[in-house]
C-alpha cells in the first residue's frame, strides 16, 4: 500500500497549486519542500518580492515626478532601504504563510526536506522513503550561469541577491535586457542608482512585438536607464564592494569595461533538477536539461510527471499553475488541459507590458494574412488623468475571419487588461465581438475596445 496517492516535489506556484487541486480531487497528497517556507522562487525570491519593490519604487517615482502637477505639494519621501526591505519581507511572509494555511485546510502534508526519486513510486527525503502511486516533479528553475561571471550574491548578484542588497547601489550594471533585467533595473533606477543594461541582441525583451520593444526601450531611456545593445559580456572581476564588467560590441569586436557597485546577472534561467536522481531513474531530459513529458505531463517513466519551469515552455508562474491543475486532473483520471496558445506574458515595469498569442513577426513567418488594430493611450481620458498615457494597445486579427490572433499592450495596467483578450481568444472571439462589448467609461479598458474598433471601421478617439 502506498502512503500517498500523489507526492509533489516542489511547492512553487506549479507544485502548491497542483497539490491543492490533487487534494480537492480526493487524492491523499503530500508536497515536499526543502526551503523553510512554501511558495518556491515566485513567492520567496521572485515574482512577489520584486513586485513589492516595484510598487514601492513606483510610488516614489510618482511622488517625485507627478505629485506636484496634481497639486500635491511638499517634499518627496526619502528612501529608508531597510524599511523597504522589511515591507517586502512582510509581503513574502503573508503569502508563504497563506500557502501553509491552504495546505492545512486542504489536508496536504508538507514533507520538509529535499527529495530524490530512488525508484518509480518512491520519494526519499533524508533517510525516509515515502511511497506514492504518482510523483509530480515541480522543482522549478535557477539562474543560468554565464562563463567568466562568478556570482557571489553580494556584488555580482542574480535576481535573488538583487532583492537583498545591503544598500541601493550608486552604479548598477545589468547583464541581459530580459524580464528580470528590466524589472529590477527599473526598481534601482527609480531608487536613485545609475543603471546600465548590457544586452547581447539588438532589441530588448527577446521574442516580443517589435513595436513594443522599441517603445519600451524609448520610455525606459527617458526614465534614465542606459542601454548598451549588441554587446556580449565577457567577464566580471569583483572585489568586496565593486566590480568591472568587460563586454565586446558585436559590430566591431571592440572591448569595453564598465565599473559598477553591483552587477545583476539576468541572462535567463535553467531547469533545476539537481539531486532528484533523474539520470539513475532513466528520465529523459533535453540537452537544455528540461524534463521531457507527453501531452499528459507524464515522463517516460510511468507514474512520474513533471510540470512548470523544469519542462519545456515559458518559465512563468501561471503556466506552471495551469500545468499543475491539469496534471492533478490527469492523475485523478480526468482530462486536464492547458491552452498553450493563450498564455499571457507580463513585464511589471512602469508602464507595464503584456502580450498574448502571436506577434506580427510570427504571423509573417507563417504566411498568415492578418490585420492590425492599434490605439494609443493618448486617446484614453483615464490614462491622461493618471499621467499614464504612454503606450498603446495593438490587436492582431485574421484578415478574413476577424478572429483575434494576438495582442500586445504597453501602458497602464497592461498586465490586467490583457486578460480581456485572453478570455476573448479562449472563446474564439473576433475583434468585432470586443468592439461590440460595452466598456465602462472612463477606464483603461476602453483602449482595448478602441483597438478592436481599429480592426474594423476605425476607432472613435484617434
Ligand atoms: P530572459 O531570457 O528574459 O532575458 C535574458 C536576456 O539576456 C536576453 O535578452 C539575452 O539576449 C541576454 N543575454 C544573454 N547572454 C548575454 C550576454 N553574455 N551578454 C549580454 N546579454 C546577454 O531572462 P531573464 O530576464 O533572466 O528571466 C528568466 C526567466 O524568468 C524568463 O523565462 C522570464 O520569463 C522569467 N521571469 C518572468 C517574469 C514575469 O513574468 N514578469 C519576471 C521575472 C522572470
CA distances 37 to 314, 341, 402, Å, are 25, 33, 47
- pLDDT at residue 12 is higher than 70: yes
Q: 1 pLDDT band (50/70/90 cuts)?
A: low
User: Residue written as cell 518627496?
Assistant: 76
Tell how far the Cα of 205 is from the centroid of ligand 1, in angstroms.
Answer: 8
Tell how many helices (H) and how many strands (E) occur in the chain: 14, 22
pLDDT given for residue 2 in this prediction: 67
Query: What is the 325 CA–ligand 1 centroid distance (Å)?
Result: 26
Round to whole Å and give the CA distance between 206 and 185. 16
Question: What pLDDT sits at residue 128?
Answer: 96
Ligand 1: atom nearest CA of 234 is 18
- Give, as one character, the DSSP assignment of residue 12: S
**Dist CA 63 CA 49 (whole Å):** 21
From CA 273, how far away is CA 261, in angstroms rounded?
32
Q: Whose CA is nearest to atom 32 of ligand 1?
A: 315
Per-residue model confidence as pLDDT tens digits over 121-175: 999 999 999 999 999 999 999 999 999 999 999 999 999 999 999 999 999 999 9
For the stretch 311-334, pLDDT in tens is 999 999 999 999 999 999 999 999
Confirm whether 441 is a catalytic residue: yes
List the domain boundaries for the chain. 4-143+270-338, 156-267, 342-454
Give which of 415, 147, 138 is closest to 267, Cα–Cα.
147
Q: Which CATH superfamily includes the segment(s) 342-454?
A: FAD/NAD-linked reductase, C-terminal dimerisation domain (3.30.390.30)
Note the maximum CA span of the chain.
70
Q: Which residues have CB under 6 Å of ligand 1?
A: 146, 175-181, 183, 198-201, 206, 232-233, 266-269, 314-316, 346-348
- Cα(430)–Cα(452) distance, integer angstroms: 9
Give the tens place of pLDDT for each residue, 86-114.
999 999 999 999 999 999 999 999 999 99
Per-residue pLDDT averaged across 405-419, rounded? Answer: 98
Place of cell 475583434: 431
The atom of ligand 1 lying closest to the CA of 347 is 41
> What is the whole-number distance in angstroms between the Cα of residue 204 and the centre of ligand 1?
10
Q: Which of 345, 349, 351 lies closest to 378 in space, CA to CA?
A: 351
352-410 pLDDT, tens per residue?
Answer: 999 999 999 999 999 999 999 999 999 999 999 999 999 999 999 999 999 999 999 99
Question: CA torsion sign, 153 to 154 to 158 to 160?
Answer: positive
Pocket-testing residue among 46, 159, 178, 270, ligand 1, by greatest number of atoms within 8 A of Cβ: 178
65, 419, 441, 461: the catalytic one is 441
User: Which of 45, 51, 180 should be mutated for ligand 1, with most atoms under 8 A from CB?
Assistant: 180
User: Is 368 exposed, middle or buried (CB count within 10 Å of its CB: 0-12, 13-18, 19+)?
Assistant: middle
Ligand 1 atom nearest residue 176's Cα: 7
pLDDT tens digits for range 247-258: 999 999 999 999
Q: Best substitution site from 12, 175, 176, 409 to test ligand 1's pocket, by max atoms within 8 Å of Cβ? A: 176
pLDDT at 247: 98
pLDDT higher than 90, residue 76: no
Q: How far is the CA of 334 from the centre of ligand 1 (A)?
A: 35
**Residue-averaged pLDDT of the chain:** 97
Residue bearing the CA closest to ligand 1, atom 27: 268
Same fold flag, 4-143+270-338 and 156-267: yes
* Residue pLDDT, tens place only, 53-69: 999 999 999 999 999 99
Q: Residues 258, 173: contact at Cβ < 8 Å?
A: yes
Query: According to the model, what pLDDT value does residue 137 have?
Result: 98
Distance of CA 29 from the midpoint of ligand 1 (Å): 34
If residue 289 lies in a helix (H) or strand (E), which one and from where to where?
none
**SS3 of 272, please?**
coil
Cα 199 to ligand 1 centroid, rounded to whole Å: 10
Q: What is the end-to-end Cα distance of the chain in Å, rounded? A: 68
Query: Ligand 1: which atom is nearest the Cα of residue 198?
Result: 20
Model pTM above 0.95 = yes
Q: Whole-angstrom Cα distance, residue 33 to residue 39?
A: 9
Which ligand 1 atom minimizes the distance to the CA of 317?
40
Interatomic CA distance for residues 77 and 159, integer angstroms: 26
Q: Which of the four pLDDT bands, split at 50, 70 and 90, describes residue 204?
A: very high
Domain 156-267 of CATH type 3.50.50.60: yes
C-alpha span between 196 and 170 (Å, rounded): 11
- CA dist 77 and 447 (Å) reads 33
In DSSP notation, 218-267 reads HHHHHTT-EEE-SEEEEEEEE-SS-EEEEEEETTT--EEEEEESEEEE-S
SS3 29: strand
Gap from CA of 338 to ligand 1 centroid (Å): 24
The Cα–Cα gap between 393 and 374 comes to 6
What is the 60 CA–ligand 1 centroid distance (Å)? 26
Pocket test for ligand 1, best of 246, 255, 264, 267 (most atoms within 8 A of CB): 267
Look up residue 168 and give its three cell numbers. Answer: 541601493
Q: Which CATH number is 4-143+270-338 given? A: 3.50.50.60
Atom of ligand 1 nearest to the CA of 309: 32
Amino acid at each position: 500500500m502506498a502512503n500517498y496517492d500523489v507526492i509533489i516535489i516542489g511547492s512553487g506556484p506549479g507544485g502548491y497549486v497542483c497539490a491543492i487541486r490533487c487534494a480537492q480531487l480526493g487524492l491523499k497528497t503530500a508536497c515536499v519542500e526543502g526551503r523553510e517556507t512554501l511558495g518556491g522562487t515566485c513567492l520567496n525570491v521572485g515574482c512577489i518580492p520584486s513586485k513589492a519593490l516595484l510598487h514601492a519604487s513606483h510610488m516614489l517615482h510618482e511622488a517625485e515626478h507627478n505629485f506636484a502637477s496634481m497639486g500635491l505639494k511638499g517634499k518627496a519621501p526619502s528612501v529608508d532601504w531597510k524599511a523597504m526591505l522589511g515591507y517586502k519581507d512582510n509581503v513574502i511572509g503573508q503569502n508563504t504563510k497563506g500557502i501553509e494555511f491552504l495546505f492545512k485546510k486542504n489536508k496536504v502534508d508538507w514533507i520538509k526536506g529535499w527529495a530524490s526519486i530512488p525508484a518509480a513510486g518512491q520519494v526519499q527525503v533524508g533517510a525516509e522513503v515515502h511511497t506514492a502511486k504518482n510523483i509530480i516533479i515541480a522543482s522549478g528553475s535557477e539562474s543560468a550561469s554565464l562563463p567568466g561571471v562568478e556570482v557571489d550574491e553580494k556584488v555580482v548578484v542574480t535576481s535573488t541577491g538583487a532583492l537583498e542588497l545591503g544598500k541601493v547601489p550608486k552604479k548598477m550594471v545589468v547583464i541581459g535586457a530580459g524580464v528580470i533585467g528590466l524589472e529590477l533595473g527599473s526598481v534601482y533606477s527609480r531608487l536613485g542608482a545609475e543603471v546600465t543594461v548590457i544586452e547581447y541582441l539588438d532589441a530588448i525583451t527577446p521574442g516580443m512585438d517589435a513595436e513594443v520593444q522599441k517603445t519600451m526601450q524609448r520610455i525606459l531611456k527617458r526614465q534614465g536607464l542606459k542601454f548598451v545593445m549588441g554587446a556580449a559580456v565577457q567577464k566580471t572581476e569583483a572585489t568586496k564592494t565593486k566590480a568591472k564588467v568587460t563586454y565586446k560590441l558585436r559590430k566591431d569586436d571592440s572591448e569595453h569595461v564598465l565599473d559598477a557597485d553591483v552587477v545583476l546577472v539576468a541572462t535567463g534561467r535553467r531547469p533545476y533538477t539537481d539531486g532528484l536522481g533523474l539520470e539513475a531513474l532513466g528520465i529523459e531530459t533535453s540537452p537544455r536539461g528540461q524534463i521531457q513529458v507527453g501531452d499528459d505531463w507524464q515522463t517516460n517513466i510511468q507514474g512520474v510527471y513533471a510540470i512548470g519551469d523544469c519542462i519545456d515552455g515559458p518559465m512563468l508562474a501561471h503556466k506552471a499553475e495551469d500545468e499543475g491543475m491539469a496534471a492533478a486532473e490527469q492523475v485523478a483520471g480526468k482530462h486536464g488541459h492547458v491552452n498553450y496558445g493563450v498564455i499571457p506574458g507580463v513585464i511589471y515595469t512602469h508602464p507595464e507590458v503584456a502580450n498574448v498569442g502571436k506577434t506580427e513577426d510570427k504571423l509573417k513567418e507563417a504566411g498568415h494574412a492578418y490585420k492590425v488594430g492599434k490605439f494609443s493611450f493618448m486617446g484614453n481620458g483615464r490614462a491622461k488623468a493618471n499621467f499614464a498615457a504612454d503606450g498603446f494597445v495593438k490587436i492582431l486579427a485574421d484578415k478574413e475571419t476577424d478572429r483575434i490572433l494576438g495582442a500586445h499592450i504597453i501602458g497602464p495596467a497592461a498586465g490586467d487588461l490583457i486578460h480581456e483578450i485572453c478570455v476573448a481568444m479562449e472563446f474564439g472571439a473576433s475583434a468585432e465581438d470586443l468592439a461590440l462589448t460595452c466598456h465602462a467609461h472612463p477606464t483603461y479598458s476602453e483602449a482595448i475596445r478602441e483597438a478592436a474598433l481599429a480592426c474594423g471601421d476605425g476607432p472613435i478617439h484617434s
